[in-house]
Every structure is written in structure tokens, then in C-alpha cells.
Chains A and B, each alone.
Chain A
Amino acid sequence: MTIPATWEPLTDADPVLTIAQDLFSTMIDGEPGHLYQWMGESPSLEDSRYAWVDVSGPVVTRVMLMAGRATGEQLTRALLQMDDSEAVSDADFADAVGEIANVVGGNVKSLVTNPGALTLPVVTHQEPDMSTAFCLLETYFGWKGAPLGVSLWALAS
């Protein structure tokens, strides 16, 4: 018998913020305090990129990271300890942003009862078609003054 996953604990932004702050303080900034909840209206993302992992199960659930290209490049430089002046290749960008989505997704999954398997990360320039999906959560964080979005979706089977 397959027991459905329970995602209710994550429909509040706080656990996701805690996960993201843990990731940023340990692997990106090297200290806490640089990632915060974005207050006010949902921001627009310039030249946006999308990175996600799916959690399989009776209902496939997607954990998606959204960031502007420039913010994604800053994240890549921070993860790889690159200088601000160093160019970020598309391969490093996709790898770094995909890994951030993977770590957030994996930690979100660990908070859920009866989750399925985690897929490999996907990174795209095009926003994926989520017209048949149900949004469980969409929240924005601020990092170095720029917005970063995280959303949680139940996909139609």
C-alpha cells in the first residue's frame, strides 16, 4: 500500500526560510544573517531562471527556486569562492543553482511524512508550465538586496 505524503507542515513559509537560511549561512555566506524574508508584494525577477527538483509519490511535488540571472551568478561565485570579476559559465551557473535547488528540495523532503524519491535538478530560462499544478506555497527571500523565490507545487498526476 502506498501512503500519501503529507505536505501540510510546509505550507507555511517559516520551515522553508529556516532551510534556506541554513544553506546560505553554511555554504554560501559562511555566516548567518544575509538571507531574510522579503516583505511586501511579490517582486519581479529580472532575466529570471528556474531550478527545481521533484519529489515522486502519488502526487508529484515540485520544489522550485526562482532567481534573476545576475543573482544566480552571484550565488555561483559565492558557492565556488570566485572573485566578483570572474565570468560565470553557463555550466557552472546551472550546476550551482541546480545544486541549491537540490539542497532546498532535499531538506524540504526530509520534513514531509512518507515522501518519495527526489529527482535530479533541472535548471531552465523558461518558466515551466505550471498551469495544471496547485501552488502549495510561494515565498520570497532577500539576499544582497535581490529577491529569490521558492515555491512548492503539487503537480497533476
Chain B
Amino acid sequence: MKALVIDDSRVMRRIVSNILVDVGFETIEAENGQVALDQLEANDDVALCCIDWNMPVMTGFEFVVAARKRPEWRNVTLMMVTTEGEQDQIVRALAAGAHEYVIKPFTPEVIVDKLQFLGLVDVKESV
């Protein structure tokens, strides 16, 4: 299964990618929402996007809104992974079409628990 990790921080992309690879994902990366849209255009087998909120060029929220306008991507699971922890930000992202929301800092277990809840990782998988 392929995952797209979207974060302007290379460090954070690496951390999230390592967690996903450990539970069986193949990962590709994007440093902002616009590059992520380009990656989705080029890769029709992406099952999961992990999305930071604050990024240059196109934010994660703008990416979610743009991605949800495309019917062919309706099966792509969108999970915010961000420092934006206010209740209204979470509600905005979920209303725009994100499926899950993880607030930084996080442990690998938090990410895996969310993926299990979303049915993207078997419960027996561990980090």
C-alpha cells in the first residue's frame, strides 16, 4: 500500500515515513500541498495521505479541500498530522474531508492506532 507524506519539514517527513514503512507502507513525499496534488496525479495507487497544516505554497487544509473536489480520489484516506491543535481547526479539517487528526508531538503508537482504526493496518501489526 502506498502513502504520501506531506510536510515542509524533511525531518518530519522522514519520521512519519519511517513509522509507515515499519507497518508495511511504501512511501512517497511532498513538501507542500501543491506538490502533493502533483504526486496524486502521478500515482493512482496512493491509499493514505499524512498531511501537515502549515506549509508554504499550499497549506494542508487547502490540499484537503482541493483533493476532496476530485471524485477519483474519494477513496484516498486523508490524515492530518500537525501542531494545529485547536478544536476549531480540527473541526474545519474534518468538515473539509480529512478522516483523522494527529497532533504533534506523537508517538509511533499513536499513528499506528489511527491507521488500525481506519482499517489501513492489521491490528496484529506493530511498530
Q: Do A and B bind each other?
A: yes
**CB proximity to A under 8 Å, residues B67-124:** 82-86, 103-107
Given A102-B83, A106-B82, A109-B86, check contact A120 B8 (CB 8 Å). yes
Return chain A residues, CB-CB under 8 Å to B84: 106, 109-110, 118
Query: Which listed residue, A23, A26, A99, touches B11 by the CB 8 Å rule?
Result: A99
Task: Name the interface size band of chain B.
Answer: 20 to 34
Give the complex CA separation of A124 and B12 in angstroms: 20
Give the complex CA separation of A115 and B86 in angstroms: 9
Total CB contacts across the A-B interface at under 8 A: 67
Instruction: Summarize B's interface: helix, strand, loop or mixed.
Output: loop
Q: Is residue A68 within 8 Å, beta carbon to beta carbon, of the partner chain?
A: no
Q: Is residue B24 within 8 Å, beta carbon to beta carbon, of the partner chain?
A: no
Give the complex CA separation of A18 and B8 in angstroms: 26
Nearest 9 CB-CB pairs, A to B? Answer: A106-B83, A110-B85, A23-B105, A26-B105, A99-B9, A27-B105, A96-B11, A95-B11, A26-B107
A residues within 8 Å of B by Cβ? 22-23, 26-27, 76, 79-81, 91-92, 95-96, 98-99, 102-103, 105-107, 109-110, 115, 117-120
Taking A107-B83, A107-B104 as given, write out 7 further A-B residue pairs in contact, using a Cβ cutoff of 8 Å, ordered by the A residue number: A26-B105, A27-B106, A80-B14, A95-B9, A95-B10, A109-B86, A120-B8
